Amino acid sequence: MPAPVTLPRLSWGDPASARRALLIHGLGSTGALMWRFGVALADAAWRADAVDLRGHGTAPRALDYRLSAYAADVEATRPEHGGPWDLVVGHSLGGAAAIAAAAEHHGWTRRLVLVDPAIRPTAKDLEIVRASQEGSFADPSEAAVRTAHPHWHEHDIELKSLSARQASRWAVEQTSEQNTPWDVTDAAARLAVPTHILGSDPDVYSIFWGDRLDRLRSANPAIGYSFVSGAGHSPHRDAPEATMTEFLRILAA
């Protein structure tokens, strides 16, 4: 596995909490944009730490943007007092990195929740991602984000604008270039910890559903699945109340 870099963190909740969660964002984003999960977990008496992935936010820049490099970074990220995470929540790219890390290092986390994870994007998915990222870099202003997502919370508008200004455009582009094919299906089939995919609505847009999802769940029946109606690829921003309700239901199951 590639040499890891040390990822910066943001935290929610009591540092003395016995339950520890790691939050991992998606491509072109930052740890701060996982704030909905951080708040929900803190209110449920968890301690939650969110990281900026390499090349994103204030994290170190590097040359290697393979999924294995992202996985090495998050696997090297541990609770302050050591031991495994009780929960890892990964969105999109963060979900793929979490899968790769958990499949290879069984003592890293006790549980996974994967939010519309980028397990095996199609060529169409990758083109949608490329166009979205190009648009974000072309105009990273809050006004542009608000126009594109008028129903988002003001925190998400502010932080999405900031994430586009902080991220390395080269790193984001290389993440697609260096992962051809982009596929962690085999790793997901080997997951030995309780795992739940919290998807977005396929009728809006989901990056992982249909036959790909069905084949994965046949290969690993322990993987649960549910989705948030009316939400796109970032359900925690598109439909936050419904997403947090479903997220807390998953944790209580």
pLDDT digits (tens, 9 = 90+) for 13-25: 999 999 999 999 9
pLDDT at 145 over 80: yes
Collapse the DSSP code of 21 into the 3-class scheme (helix H, G, I; strand E, B; otherwise coil) and give the result.
Answer: strand
Whole-model pTM: value is 0.98
Confidence of residue 129 (pLDDT cuts 50, 70, 90): very high
Length of the chain: 253
**Tokens standing for 236?**
């925690």
> Domain 9-252 adopts which CATH fold?
Rossmann fold (3.40.50)
Q: Note the pLDDT tens digit of each residue in 48-80.
A: 999 999 999 999 999 999 999 999 999 999 998
The chain-wide mean pLDDT, for the chain, equals 97
Confidence of residue 182 (pLDDT cuts 50, 70, 90): very high
Q: Between the CA of residue 108 and those of 58, 68, 76, 126, 219, what are the distances in Å?
A: 24, 15, 9, 29, 22
Residue with structure tokens 């999109």? 92
Helices 35-43 and 240-252, axial angle in degrees (round to 10): 50
pLDDT at 1 over 90: no
Minimal CA–CA distance to 155: which of 32, 47, 42, 250?
32
CB 51 within 8 A of CB 59: yes
Residue with structure tokens 């990758």? 126
Confidence of residue 251 (pLDDT cuts 50, 70, 90): very high
pLDDT at 170: 98
Q: Residue 242: in which H helix or E strand, if any?
A: helix 240-252
pLDDT at 209 over 90: yes
φ, ψ (nearest 5 deg) of residue 40: -60, -40
d(CA 90, CA 21): 11
pLDDT at 81: 86
Q: Note the pLDDT tens digit of each residue in 84-122.
A: 999 999 999 999 999 999 999 999 999 999 999 999 999
d(CA 66, CA 193): 24
| % of the chain beyond a pLDDT of 90 | 97
**Tokens standing for 200?**
């977005």
**Tokens standing for 184?**
């962690």
pLDDT at 177 over 80: yes
pLDDT at 160: 98
Collapse the DSSP code of 10 into the 3-class scheme (helix H, G, I; strand E, B; otherwise coil) and give the result.
Answer: strand
pLDDT at 142: 98
Confidence of residue 211 (pLDDT cuts 50, 70, 90): very high
CB 52 within 8 A of CB 22: no
| % of the chain beyond a pLDDT of 70 | 100
DSSP states of 42-92: HHTT-EEEEEPPTTSTTSPP-S--SHHHHHHHHHT---TT-S-BSEEEEET
Count CB-CB contacts under 10 A for residue 201: 19
